[in-house]
């Protein structure tokens, strides 16, 4: 039994590299590492797919808000320009000038320096039908007087958007010029008391340059571009965005680079055509914060893995692997030595402890069974030996028994009661000689026969 168990164990040892390629310890290590790695990947996926897009969404909202600020700045500039135009149009001097009663007013009050002080690039005075009375255009780059074909010296057509349906408030909006998009305000000219009928229109214009937009109060600290939709300085991608926006009121957010994002919007002119595209560019602080949080989360997960994997493996080794390994070694040792008296004597209260105690109980039962088997084998051997001996004795006694039986039959045939009767009769004194001789002969013959029987029994 021990030899066979030892051979089985050696055979198991030889099969181990191929039959059992991986120990329980390595399997548990791989399972723990795989589970923790999957948890880390799931966490990173959640961070990438759920958390980071929220930062991106906040970033887009911030860019759209900045673009809305730029729009509000442009609208504020238009209102300020309209207010200035109203102050000048509702004045007796321009009213009398258009009426031909104050021809020296422009030379006195409308010098280039005065126009520049008002931050105007255009002042244009015309009649209600569009005939020019006076105009001055200042180049926004050089600041010197220049010509602006969009507001010619011959006057404006009566169908011009700035002249149609004149009202007390006039018109404001954007007009595309050679110098770029221009904020314009057109207010009917009347007297200071506003009781005289309109006799002309005062048009003021301010070219919307990037410097002007950047100087607006709500755009302070922002990187802003404000150019005509058809400006060649726009990139092909930005031109495509302008075409996509058209003259609508929406906006488009686009990534300028890995560190910056921009929001585009288009403002229409007085005719409703796309005229001005606004670009508000901001740093991607939200995304960078999200990516920094993602990196921090990754480092935290990595640190947790570095700490958890050894700790988990150590705990599993102490609580699972080592006890099972000890149980396996104990079982292998018992199989090699056939020592059924060896015990683990585990005091653990978990399943491994129960298994160890059940294994000890099994060994105890096996030891009892083996003892009973040995005792039974001994008794069986003794019984077999006694059976052989008795068989030999029986074989040896059989002839004697037969002889005794034959002698008994012969003795029975000799009729000993008759011999006894003859002996009693011989003892009589009154017996005649003839009868005595017969009886003596009979007794001698019977004695001889009995001697023969006894000799046969002895043989």
* Angle formed by the axes of helices 24-46 and 322-337, nearest 10°: 160
The better pLDDT of the pair 44, 278 is held by 278
The mean-pLDDT minimum among 343-357, 358-372, 413-427 falls in 413-427
User: Tens of pLDDT along 352-395?
Assistant: 788 888 888 888 888 888 888 888 888 877 777 777 777 777 77
Average pLDDT over residues 304-325: 82
Output the pLDDT for position 71.
Answer: 87
Phi, then psi, of 360 in degrees rounded to 5: -60, -45
CB neighbours of 120 closer than 8 A, spacing ≥ 6? Answer: 84, 138, 204, 205, 206
The better pLDDT of the pair 455, 354 is held by 354
Output the pLDDT for position 165.
Answer: 80
Output the pLDDT for position 1.
Answer: 40
The better pLDDT of the pair 283, 96 is held by 96
pLDDT of 412 above 60: yes
For the chain, list the domains and their CATH numbers. Answer: 54-286 (3.30.450.20), 414-458 (no CATH)
- Pair of tokens at residue 225: 């571009």
Average pLDDT over residues 260-281: 88
User: Tens of pLDDT along 140-184?
Assistant: 989 899 999 999 999 999 999 999 887 888 999 999 999 989 999
Q: Which of 269, 267, 235 is nearest to 254 (CA)?
A: 235
189 pLDDT tier (thresholds 50, 70, 90):
very high
User: Tens of pLDDT along 79-111?
Assistant: 999 999 999 999 999 999 999 999 999 999 999
Output the pLDDT for position 9.
Answer: 44
Output the pLDDT for position 335.
Answer: 81
pLDDT of 302 above 70: yes
The better pLDDT of the pair 419, 203 is held by 203
Dist CA 153 CA 299 (whole Å): 71
Q: What is the mean pLDDT of the chain?
A: 81
Dist CA 412 CA 258 (whole Å): 138
pLDDT of 136 above 90: yes
Output the pLDDT for position 21.
Answer: 56
Output the pLDDT for position 410.
Answer: 67
């Amino acid at each position: 039994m021990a030899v066979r168990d030892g051979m089985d164990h050696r055979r198991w040892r030889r099969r181990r590299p191929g039959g059992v390629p991986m120990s329980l310890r390595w399997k548990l290590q791989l399972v723990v590492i795989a589970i923790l790695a999957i948890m880390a990947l799931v966490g990173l996926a959640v961070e990438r797919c759920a958390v980071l897009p929220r930062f991106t969404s906040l970033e887009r909202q911030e860019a759209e808000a900045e673009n809305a600020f730029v729009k509000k700045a442009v609208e504020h500039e238009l209102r300020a320009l309209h207010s200035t135009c109203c102050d000048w149009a509702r004045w007796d001097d321009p009213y009398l000038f258009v009426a031909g009663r104050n021809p020296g007013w422009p030379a006195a009050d409308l010098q280039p320096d005065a126009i520049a002080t008002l931050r105007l690039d255009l002042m244009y005075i015309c009649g209600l039908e569009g005939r020019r009375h006076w105009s001055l255009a200042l180049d926004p780059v050089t600041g010197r007087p220049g010509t602006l074909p969009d507001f010619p010296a011959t006057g404006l057509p009566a169908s011009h958007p700035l002249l149609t349906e004149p009202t007390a408030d006039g018109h404001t909006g954007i007009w595309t010029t050679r110098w770029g998009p221009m904020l314009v305000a057109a207010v009917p000219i009347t007297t200071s008391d506003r009781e005289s009928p309109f006799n002309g229109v005062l048009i003021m214009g301010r070219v919307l340059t990037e410097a002007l937009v950047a100087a607006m109060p709500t755009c302070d600290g922002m990187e802003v571009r404000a150019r005509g939709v058809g400006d060649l300085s726009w990139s092909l991608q930005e031109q495509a965005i302008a075409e996509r926006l058209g003259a609508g009121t929406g906006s488009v957010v686009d990534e300028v680079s890995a560190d910056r994002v921009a929001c585009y919007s288009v403002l229409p002119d007085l005719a409703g055509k796309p005229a001005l595209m606004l670009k508000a560019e901001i740093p991607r602080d939200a995304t960078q914060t999200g990516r920094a949080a993602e990196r921090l989360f990754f480092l935290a997960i990595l640190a947790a893995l570095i700490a958890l994997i050894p700790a988990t493996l150590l705990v599993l080794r102490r609580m699972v692997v080592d006890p099972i390994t000890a149980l396996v070694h104990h079982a292998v040792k018992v199989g090699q030595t056939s020592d059924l008296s060896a015990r683990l004597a585990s005091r653990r209260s978990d399943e491994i402890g129960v298994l160890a105690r059940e294994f000890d109980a099994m060994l105890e039962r096996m030891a009892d069974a083996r003892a009973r088997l040995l005792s039974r084998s001994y008794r069986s051997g003794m019984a077999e030996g006694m059976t052989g001996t008795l068989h030999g004795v029986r074989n040896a006694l059989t002839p004697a028994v037969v002889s005794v039986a034959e002698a008994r039959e012969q003795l029975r045939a000799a009729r000993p009661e008759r011999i006894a009767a003859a002996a009693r009769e011989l003892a009589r004194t009154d017996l005649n000689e003839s009868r005595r001789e017969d009886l003596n002969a009979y007794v001698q013959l019977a004695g001889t026969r009995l001697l023969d029987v006894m000799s046969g029994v002895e043989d």
